[in-house]
């Protein structure tokens, strides 16, 4: 009988640990290379239908997911120098200036090369099908490519296709402007260290409590039937 109790206890502990990992695990999104027109490798060559793990941001291996989006109404109007990460080391943003005006965000991004002639607010497939007038041409007057585009929010993954001069094709690129790089006094909402709001953190804690209660109830029902079967 003691063995049954220890087993049930260990199962309950494992399930509770799993519930914590489910609630607090950082969502990871692995991009489908076939969604775009191709992927580049370190040598600058392209491969069709093959995923290239090197074609990711080297800052943390992937974009930052699970953050709370910060919209124009969530911070004061003005122009800010912000940090931006992208999904590709070949599309590295060295400078980003974000202007918040009349409920609209406009970003001016500088790329560390002149390898891309155009960008497009969408996927590579959408860019290839769009009218050329919708393509955003880069300004190379400073020796680097600068593009001006709209941004729906910070802390939100923004699809941005880029047209390679060398390969003459569109590539899927994603951008995230980090709200943590805004001055603290400009924000009208409070974010925690991981980019989520305080409310998000409280809601996550409540989810853990609910899951724990559900596990305890399920464990009690299971214990009842095990005991009943054992004694019968």
Q: What is the pLDDT of residues 51-100, one digit of tens each?
A: 333 333 333 334 665 678 999 999 999 999 999 999 898 999 999 999 99
What's the average model confidence in pLDDT over 121-129? 96
The structure's pTM equals: 0.61
List Cα–Cα distances, 79 to 22, 48, 70, 98, 215, in angstroms.
38, 40, 15, 6, 50
Q: Is the pLDDT confidence value at 139 over 70?
A: yes
Cβ-based neighbours of 210, under 8 Å, separated by 6 or more:
none
Q: At what angle do helices 198-231 and 2-24 cross, to 10 degrees?
A: 160
Spatial contact of 91 and 116, defined as CB atoms under 8 Å apart: yes
Q: Decide if domain 33-186 falls under CATH 1.10.3720.10.
A: no
List, in sequence order, every residue forming a beta bridge with 137; answer none if it has no partner: 118
Spatial contact of 105 and 152, defined as CB atoms under 8 Å apart: yes
pLDDT in tens, 165-218: 999 999 999 999 999 999 989 999 887 665 554 444 445 556 666 676 677 777
């Amino acid at each position: 009988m003691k063995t049954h109790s220890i087993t049930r206890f260990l199962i309950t502990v494992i399930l509770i640990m799993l519930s914590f990992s489910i609630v607090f695990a950082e969502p990871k999104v692995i991009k489908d290379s076939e969604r775009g027109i191709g992927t580049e490798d370190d040598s600058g060559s392209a491969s069709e239908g093959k995923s290239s793990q090197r074609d990711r941001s080297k800052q943390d291996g992937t974009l930052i997911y699970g953050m709370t989006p910060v919209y124009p109404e969530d911070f004061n109007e003005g122009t800010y120098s912000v940090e931006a990460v992208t999904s590709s080391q070949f599309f590295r943003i060295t400078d980003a200036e974000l202007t918040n005006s009349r409920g609209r965000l406009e970003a001016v991004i500088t790329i560390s090369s002149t390898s891309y002639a155009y960008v497009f607010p969408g996927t590579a497939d959408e860019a290839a099908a769009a009218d050329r007038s919708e393509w955003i041409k880069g300004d190379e007057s400073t020796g680097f490519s600068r593009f001006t585009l709209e941004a729906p929010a910070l802390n939100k993954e923004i699809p941005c296709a880029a047209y390679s001069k060398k390969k003459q094709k569109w590539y899927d690129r994603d951008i995230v402007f980090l709200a943590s790089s805004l001055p603290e006094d400009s924000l009208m909402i409070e974010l925690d260290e991981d980019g989520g709001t305080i409310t998000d953190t409280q809601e996550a804690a409540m989810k853990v409590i609910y899951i724990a209660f559900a596990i305890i109830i399920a464990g009690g029902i299971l214990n009842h039937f095990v005991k009943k079967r054992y004694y019968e």
